[in-house]
Structure 1
Amino acid sequence: MTQAEAVIPPSQEALARRLDRLDRLATSLDSRFGVPGIRFGLDVLLGLIPGIGDAAALGPAAYILLEAHRMGAPPRVTLRMAAHTALDWLVDSVPLLGDLLDIWLKSNQRNVALLREHFQIPPATEQRGPNSVS
């Protein structure tokens, strides 16, 4: 048996749990906090720290990319995710204006949405039936 034959794809339930965890991370990074009409996350707050803030925000974004690879996302999906992350990092490199654009871009949430679309697993709130208890 080859190494490729020994790899067992994760079950849909396991993928759903991993995606839910990535969703929570992405939400924290992109839209955890809000003021009337505007949602923003830790990514924007970290970006306000001169010099290291944008690099610190890149770590969790890279983790989402790594998880996509581990979950078996195809190259076309991971490349799109990498493009979102690269655009986010580029935008963040512009002081203050980049942070304002980051509020709109929400690249981490876009990346998790791409994974959900690829694996055809809806968010946890959509998976529950109308009579289910939270």
Structure 2
Amino acid sequence: MAKASPIDPTTFDALPLDKSITASRQRIEAMERLLERVVVLPGINRPIGLDVMLGLIPIVGDIAAAALGSYIIWEARNLGLSKFHMARMMANVGFDAVLGFIPIVGDAADVMFRSNTRNLRIIRKHLDKHHPSTVTVEG
């Protein structure tokens, strides 16, 4: 699991807006980091992100988190992922949203079930296979 760092606004500065595959990968990784790994939860030493924070707001927060997670799916569609992979990604976001609708249990599930991280893994596997020049080394 990638290590979360304290909130650093410069992390999201200057994301490329062009349509290249490398730019899409950077935007997807930044969105996943924002949704899943913004800060570390004290006590259990587990990173959380905007997905968990929005999940604390009943109904509306879960819908907003699902909408933000759908951005990753939209980027994946633009990258040409198969319908099977798109369906898996939609199921991940949908399952996360449905879990979020359950009071208290949904909030705990948001910490444990990371749909956006799962979706990023699917996209990375596709890009590493079909576009190996976009691979970045994490330091």
- TM-score band w.r.t. shorter chain: 0.7 to 0.9
Deviates more, 1:32-41 or 1:20-29: 32-41
Larger of the two Rg values belongs to structure = 1
**Normalization by structure 1: what TM-score?**
0.77
Secondary structure in 1 matching 2:59:
coil
Contact 2:32 2:117 survives alignment (8 Å):
yes
Instruction: Give the ranges of 4+ consecutive aligned residues of structure 1 lying more than 3 Å apart after TM superposition.
Output: none
* Other-structure match for 2:115: 107
Aligned residues: 115
Deviation at 1:28, TM superposition (A): 0.8
**% identical aligned pairs:** 31
Deviation digits for residues 69-128 of structure 1, max 9, x if unmatched? 1111111111111111111111111112111111111111110110110121575334x8
Instruction: Give the residue type in structure 1 aligned to 2:125.
Output: E
For 2:57, what is the secondary structure of its paired residue?
A: coil
Structure 1 segments unaligned to the other structure (5+ residues): 1-12, 129-134
Of 85, 95, 119, the residue aligned with 2:103 is 95
The answer to whether the 8 A contact 2:35-2:49 is kept is: yes
CA RMSD of aligned residues (A): 2.0
Q: Which runs of 5+ in 2 are unaligned?
A: 1-18
